[in-house]
Amino acid sequence: MNEVLVRVSSEAQQREARLLQALRDAGLRLTPQRRAICHYLAHTDAHPTAQQIFAAVKPEFPSLSLATVYNTLDALVRLGAVHALGGAGDGAIHYDADLRPHVNLACLQCHRMVDLPCEAVADLNRRVTAESGYRILGARLVYYGLCPDCQRTAREASPTP
Ligand SMILES: [Zn+2]
């Protein structure tokens, strides 16, 4: 029999496994709905809100309630498995399952959030940990403003004479 190549699990799969483990640690039952929420969170970089997660998972799981989305997110945030990033000018909390040190950028016009890899954040995290004595569960570093697309739209709407 040929040696089967071990499939290296992707970043997203590892993230999903971590989220499921966090729910087990929280003593929550791993229902198909909760698994689907974890799967969705692990595979998106869109920084979804609870409503967006609900809208994305609901079609496949019609019995899903918004309350389940919220209590699942609450448990994940409490355990530091997901970061709650706050709003993007839309009054809703955005969630991020990517725990690698990075900067988040929020557009106050289109309410999208994107990641910016940033080496300095890892240094900052180490420094904060060392100097505060805290056991850090997470950090939210959000810059906000207007994304390049929205700046372009604004320029096209009001061309300078
Ligand atoms: Zn924008």
Q: Hey, which residues does 114 pair with through a beta bridge? A: 105
Instruction: Say if 2 falls within a structural domain.
Output: no
Instruction: Say if 96 falls within a structural domain.
Output: yes
The pLDDT tens digits along the chain (161 residues) read 444 444 446 889 999 999 999 999 999 999 999 999 999 999 999 999 999 999 999 999 999 999 999 999 999 999 989 999 988 889 999 999 998 889 999 999 999 999 998 889 989 999 999 999 998 877 888 999 999 999 999 888 876 65
Q: How far is the CA of 8 from the centre of ligand 1 (A)?
A: 35
Q: How far is the CA of 157 from the centre of ligand 1 (A)?
A: 14
Whichever domain contains 45, its CATH number is: 1.10.10.10
What residues flank ion ligand 1 with Cβ within 5 A?
A: 107, 109-110, 147, 150
Q: How far is the CA of 49 from the centre of ligand 1 (A)?
A: 16
* Beta-carbon count within 10 A of 96 CB: 22
Q: What share of the chain is helix, strand, coil (3-state, %, to 5)?
A: 45, 15, 40
> How many residues are listed for the chain in this entry?
161
Instruction: Say if 52 falls within a structural domain.
Output: yes
pTM: 0.83
Q: How far is the CA of 110 from the centre of ligand 1 (A)?
A: 4
Q: Which domain holds residue 29?
A: 11-157
84 SS3 class: strand
Instruction: Say if 5 falls within a structural domain.
Output: no
Residues 137 and 109: their CA atoms lie apart, in Å, by 30
Instruction: Say if 20 falls within a structural domain.
Output: yes
Q: How far is the CA of 21 from the centre of ligand 1 (A)?
A: 34
Instruction: Say if 1 falls within a structural domain.
Output: no
Instruction: Say if 4 falls within a structural domain.
Output: no
Residues 115 and 57: their CA atoms lie apart, in Å, by 23
What is the number of domains present in the chain?
Answer: 1
Instruction: Say if 6 falls within a structural domain.
Output: no
Helix (H) or strand (E) holding 143: strand 142-145
